[in-house]
Amino acid sequence: MPRQRKRNPNGSGTVTKRTDGRYQAAVYVPQPDGTTKRKYAYGKTYDECDQKRRELLDRASGGIPTPTRDMTLGQWFDYWLEVIVKPNLSAGSYRTYETAVRNHLRPRLGSKVMLRLGIKELRGAVQRLAEDKGAKTAKHCLRVLSAALTAAMLEDIGLTRNVAKLVHVRATTDSGKSWDAVTVLRFLAAARRLSEYYPAFLLLCLLGLRRAELCGLRWENIDLDNRILWVEQQRQRTSAGTIDVDLKTDTSKAPLPLPAQCIAPLRWTRMRTAWLRERAINRGRPWYDDPDKHVFITRTGRPLLAASLYLIMQRILRLAGLGKMSPKGLRKSCGTLLVHLRVHPRIIKAVLRHSRIATTLDIYAEALDPDVVEAVGQLNRLLQQPARIRQLEANRPDPEAC
């Protein structure tokens, strides 16, 4: 009696030889939308193909969806956001990508099969989006789509090119405005007079901190005696609430020299926190004992939110009659004033903790710590004396005389 061929257990997939000599593995795998589809993998030898079969089974047993070739862009967006973006990028980046997908990409391209998306079809969709929502929105959505397709090329789906990189949108780049030294001095004088968060705005102008980094600053990150400040976390709004999270890039984590004029305001801030706590306890008012000991807090002891800092700044600007500006503009003003002082761009990169200023600058050596200290010291001396406002205004040319 001939020996019967041993069958694989149900659900373990199959490996067969094709007519062209290659081997083909077939396994039923879960999809991002919750369904199950048959996934094929190919190899030159039986062992190579069997190894791919085992990898597909391992992913399936772990509950990880494996996309197939007929997956639509809408299905891939679901998989990409939850499996690739959410675990590996910051909460802010996830919200940015998810918003672009939900509001613009899914309604226009969600039903398209990803592997069949062509340049002409995509160009037409992007042009219509630019007409409806503007060129900047279309350009941003095209970048998000390009990131999604790049991730798809790393999966075993069969996608061999990123069509989003072959479509271009012309949009102006607006990096925002910045202030000169006179306007910065006016703002700091107004902040000192109108707000108890003057030390926070001082750090924004002198060190170019991001407002999320400023709100996440803790007393353990500041050495007032040695005049050093460490930027190590930022305060972000996430699905778990407003919490401290890691910085987006490693270059953002860096010690910075603390300017001399920041020491006294920061000491005052620490005394104010102790005074607010004592007053709240004595009067029986609610008080939150911050376990992380953030530097800038509200009157109830909770860490200051980035949105609240923005509203406080807008109130100061309105009362001082300084026009529109954002905390991000203060950061840009810091870089602009450093350029005005003829500081080397590499040192500005170290002060602002950018990942890069330009690709060509990456060949230079890293800025030395004494150079960074001197650069911040120059900016500190430039903004230290409010009396210079009258001097700078007197030297400003009269526009009517031109």
Parse the chain into domains and list their residue ranges: 23-61, 73-166, 181-396
The residues with which 43 forms a beta bridge, in sequence order, are: 23
As a whole number, mean pLDDT of residues 306-331 equals 91
Task: Report the C-alpha gap between 303 and 291 in whole angstroms.
Answer: 10
Of 67, 69, 25, 26, the residue nearest 44 (C-alpha):
25
Q: pTM here?
A: 0.64
Residue 386 binned pLDDT confidence (cut-offs 50, 70, 90): low
As a whole number, mean pLDDT of residues 128-153 equals 91
Which residues lie below 8 Å from residue 261, measured CB to CB, with a gap of 6+?
202, 206, 380, 383, 384
pLDDT (tens digit per residue) in 152-162: 888 766 788 89
Buried b (16+ CB within 10 A) or exposed e, 22-35: ebbbebbbbbbeee
Task: Report the C-alpha gap between 161 and 270 in whole angstroms.
Answer: 56
Cβ burial of 52 (10 Å; 0-12, 13-18, 19+) is: buried
Indicate the CATH number of 73-166 among 1.10.150.130, 1.25.40.10, 3.40.50.620, 3.30.56.10: 1.10.150.130
Task: Report the C-alpha gap between 8 and 370 in whole angstroms.
Answer: 69
Of 141, 305, 308, the residue nearest 234 (C-alpha):
305
**Segment (H or E) for 120:** helix 119-133
Indicate the CATH number of 181-396 among 1.10.443.10, 1.10.3720.10, 1.10.10.10, 1.25.50.20: 1.10.443.10
pLDDT (tens digit per residue) in 226-256: 999 998 888 887 766 788 788 777 777 888 9
Cα dihedral 148, 151, 152, 154, rounded to 10, equals: 170
